[in-house]
Every structure is written in C-alpha cells, then in structure tokens.
C-alpha cells in the first residue's frame, strides 16, 4: 500500500527510549501505512540500533552532526510522501492520531499545518512546576490552534512554504509562523503527551533556551503576527481572575515565565550561543 504519511523523527542519544516510543506510536499500524524515518544525529549511544529493531519498515539514517535542524533536513531529503509529520523522539502519540492527521491534511489542497491537542504530564514534576503548568494551560499559546512542542504536520501545499529548515533553535516556532492562524488546525478528540521538567531549575534552563530561539527567529521568516504582549497578558490575567482556584499558582507562573525571558534577553545582548538540546529530566520521567 502507499503510505498515507511520512514521519520524520530526529533522535539524539535516545537509545534508552527510542524503541519503546516507536513501538507505542505504531502499535496497530498496518504494514506500509506510514513512511517512518528516524534520523540518529551525532549519537554516542545505540539509538540507531534500537530504532532499527523497533519494527519492520522503520528506516534509520545516521548523520555525524548532533543537530536537530540537520536531522530534519536529512529526514526531509529521504522522505517521499506528503503530508509529513515531524515528531520528537520523546512524544507519546498513537496510531489513531496519526491517521487523523493524514485525513485532515490529505483532504485539503490549501496550505495547512496541524497538530493534535497537547497534554503536559506533570504528575512526576515538582510542586512549583505543576503550578506553572496550571496557568500556562490558560495562555493564548495553548488555547488558540497550538502548533509545536513536539509534533507538527503539514500537507504538500504547506510544505512549499519553506525550502530547507533554516539554522534556527526554534524549529516549531519557525513552522508555526509560516502559517496564519486560520491555516492552523488542532485536531479535535486527538492528543499527544509531553512530559514537564522535573523541577523549576530545569524548567528555567529549558525555557530560556526556547525563549532565545523564539526571540532570535528572524522577522522575515515569520508570516503570522500575534497580539501585543500586553493584550495577551491581560487576557490571561482575566481568565485567572475568574477562577480563584488558580490564584495561588500565579506567582509560580510569573517566575517560570519572566526569569527565562530575562535570561534570554541577557544572553542575546551578550552574544552567547544557545544550541538545541534535550531535557534530560523529562527523559528520566518517560523512562520511569
């Protein structure tokens, strides 16, 4: 059968995780239903071996450079099917959701980007991180056609919006900003799961890297705009104000949001480089 999707999975030193993730993701898939390409990039462990043995039909490419962007481009070069999904190696998703992405994107000839609804598992995170997540769930970023944070998918017309992935930190932000809000789809009734950092220190470090990536994304590659910061903050505060059960969590959110932004601005002013990296604490939680 002709695959309904290409799925590109960058993986850097994911040997302890990748086989389990792949088996869970493609449990129930029929032979040849998906074109699956795992790009082991700059690995010092046995990621490629475990990915190759996780199931029939999984193609593994190895590149020397430890770079998510290089891995995405290598995966694109090897992929032959559209629509196309770009999936992080630690994301929990099932085959029914992949099929839903294939249906939604396959039915549209206009440029589209899509993602399932996001669930953040913070059950094994610290109290402070859990409080942060309660408020973050009410933000515009989470509530309005969210794209990114581990998975995004495009149809053929959507993939024409850019050539190769540019050398940026925030690939998900880059892709999101290639599409106007009305061109984005959040699947109804389908979700994916990511894992929150273990503690606030790890959250701040990870969020700072993400914020550096977002702030350094060139304006010329961004088609979409967003409401002014004051408007976004005002809407969030009004939502929180209507729910007294969230008031206690607000200081944790302010800290977890403001500190990374300040650190990111300082890093950019000083010309410090911040490269793509993974959150090891979330991998520990996945493996547990």
Give residue 231's domain range: 82-287
Q: Transcribe 107-136 into DSSP letters.
A: T--S--EEEEEEEEE-TTS-HHHHHHHHHH
Q: Which residues does residue 9 pair with via DSSP β-bridges, in sequence order?
A: 38
From first to last of the 288 residues of the chain, give the pLDDT tens digit: 799 999 999 999 999 899 999 999 999 999 999 999 999 999 999 999 999 998 878 999 999 999 999 999 999 999 999 999 999 999 999 999 999 999 999 988 899 999 999 999 999 999 999 999 999 999 988 877 677 789 999 999 999 999 999 988 889 888 988 998 889 999 989 999 999 999 999 999 999 988 888 887 777 666 666 666 678 788 999 999 999 999 999 999 999 999 999 999 898 888 765 544 455 555 554 544
Where do the DSSP E strands lie in the chain?
Answer: 5-11, 34-41, 58-63, 84-87, 113-121, 151-154, 184-195
Q: Which residues does residue 16 pair with via DSSP β-bridges, in sequence order?
A: none
For tokens 């729910």, the residue is 243
Is 30 a member of any domain? no
Predicted confidence at residue 288, as pLDDT, reads 44
CA-to-CA dists, residue 220 to 73, 85, 177, 224, 225, angstroms:
20, 24, 10, 10, 12
CA 264 – CA 158 distance, rounded (Å):
30
- Cα angle value 124/274/114 (rounded, 5°): 60
Is 57 a member of any domain? no
Is 145 a member of any domain? yes
Is 215 a member of any domain? yes
Predicted confidence at residue 47, as pLDDT, reads 95
Predicted confidence at residue 177, as pLDDT, reads 87
Predicted confidence at residue 189, as pLDDT, reads 92
Of 188, 198, 63, which Cα lies nearest the Cα of 128? 198
Is 66 a member of any domain? no
The answer to whether 84 and 5 are in contact (CB under 8 A) is: yes
Is 249 a member of any domain? yes
Number of folded domains in the chain?
A: 1
Is 269 a member of any domain? yes
Answering whether pTM is above 0.85, one says yes
Predicted confidence at residue 52, as pLDDT, reads 93
Is 174 a member of any domain? yes
């Amino acid at each position: 059968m002709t695959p309904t999707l290409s799925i590109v999975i960058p993986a850097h030193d994911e040997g302890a995780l990748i086989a389990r993730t792949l088996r869970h993701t493609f449990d129930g898939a029929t032979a040849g239903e998906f074109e699956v390409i795992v790009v082991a990039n700059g690995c010092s462990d046995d990621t490629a071996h475990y990915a190759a043995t996780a199931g029939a039909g999984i193609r593994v490419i190895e590149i020397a450079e430890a770079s998510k962007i290089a891995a995405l481009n290598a995966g694109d070069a090897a992929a032959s099917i559209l629509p196309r999904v770009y999936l992080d190696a630690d994301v929990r998703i099932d085959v029914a959701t992949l099929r839903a992405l294939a249906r939604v994107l396959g039915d549209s000839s206009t440029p589209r980007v899509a993602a399932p609804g996001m669930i953040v598992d913070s059950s094994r995170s610290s109290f402070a991180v859990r409080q942060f997540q309660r408020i973050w769930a009410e933000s515009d970023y989470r509530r309005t056609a969210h794209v990114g944070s581990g998975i995004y998918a495009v149809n053929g017309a959507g993939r024409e919006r850019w050539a190769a992935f540019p050398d940026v930190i925030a690939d998900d932000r880059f892709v999101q900003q290639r599409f106007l809000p009305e061109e984005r789809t959040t699947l109804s009734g389908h979700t994916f799961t990511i894992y929150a950092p273990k503690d606030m220190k790890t959250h701040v470090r990870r969020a700072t890297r993400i914020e550096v990536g977002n702030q350094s994304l060139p304006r010329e590659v961004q088609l979409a705009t967003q409401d002014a910061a004051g408007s976004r903050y005002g809407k969030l505060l009004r939502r929180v104000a209507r729910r007294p059960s969230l008031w206690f969590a607000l200081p944790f959110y302010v800290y977890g949001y403001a500190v990374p932004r300040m650190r990111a601005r300082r890093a950019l002013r000083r010309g410090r480089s911040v490269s793509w990296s993974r959150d090891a604490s979330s991998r520990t939680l996945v493996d547990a």
